Structure 1
């Protein structure tokens, strides 16, 4: 994927098992927990392009969150701050080759950032 592409959508849920059953039955999504991502069911749409995760709902995570692929999380955070945004979650590693963070736009929308490579094979 390229800088600016939507790469992932997390859906906050209260019951991972019930949500897995609901979304797989409703939309035909393939949902599994790849090695290293136990407790975080990952979904893939039938088009094999769209995907994301079912993540535990929390106080700061109550609505679906889209993640945008960026060339550099650090540079994107700096640009967001300069443009009037803020940071909800600082950069954190996912794997040795990938990381994520969450920024907030001036209207209060939370946007996830992703950079790197994650293999689900």
Structure 2
């Protein structure tokens, strides 16, 4: 996977079931609910960006975060902070998959970083 391309889209919704129905109808997404996480994964397809839809709560505000592939999460965080971003979610490891973090760009937009 080359770096700096969209790797995942995360939709956090105040009403996740309604949001799942909306995006399924709008884009024809097929979703697979992981009940223990209250998170629905978008089934892969030739024209589908991988992603999922989860519930907002006290620690996760509603909104959309696009994750971009980067070769090194920590180095990208250092560069992002030097350019005026702030770290929203520090790096953490998704066992067996990779590392991720979330920044707020200078305008406050959430941007995800993903390292395979």
Q: TM-score, normalised by structure 2?
A: 0.82
Moved more, 71-80 or 93-102: 93-102
Q: Which runs of 5+ in 1 are unaligned?
A: 117-121
CA distance in 1, matches of 2:14, 2:85: 29
Which residue number in structure 2 is paired with residue 42 of structure 1?
41
For the Cα contact (< 8 Å) 2:101–2:113, is it kept in 1? Answer: yes
1:78 aligns with 2:78: yes
Secondary structure of 1:17's counterpart equals: helix
User: Following TM superposition, where does structure 1 have runs of at least 4 consecutive aligned residues deviating by more than 6 angstroms?
Assistant: none
How has the CA–CA distance of structure 1 residues 16 and 63 changed in structure 2, closer, same or farther, with 3 Å as cutoff?
closer
CA distance in 1, matches of 2:91, 2:46: 30
Which residue number in structure 2 is paired with residue 99 of structure 1?
99
Which residue number in structure 1 is paired with residue 13 of structure 2?
13
For residues 6-41 of structure 1, what are the alpha-carbon distances to aligned partners after superposition, in whole Å with 9 as ceiling and x for unaligned? 111111113333333332233210111469x74211
CA distance in 2, matches of 1:72, 1:110: 18
Secondary structure of 1:25's counterpart equals: helix
> How many corresponding residue pairs?
115
CA distance in 2, matches of 1:100, 1:52: 14
CA distance in 2, matches of 1:71, 1:84: 20
Q: TM-score, normalised by structure 1?
A: 0.79
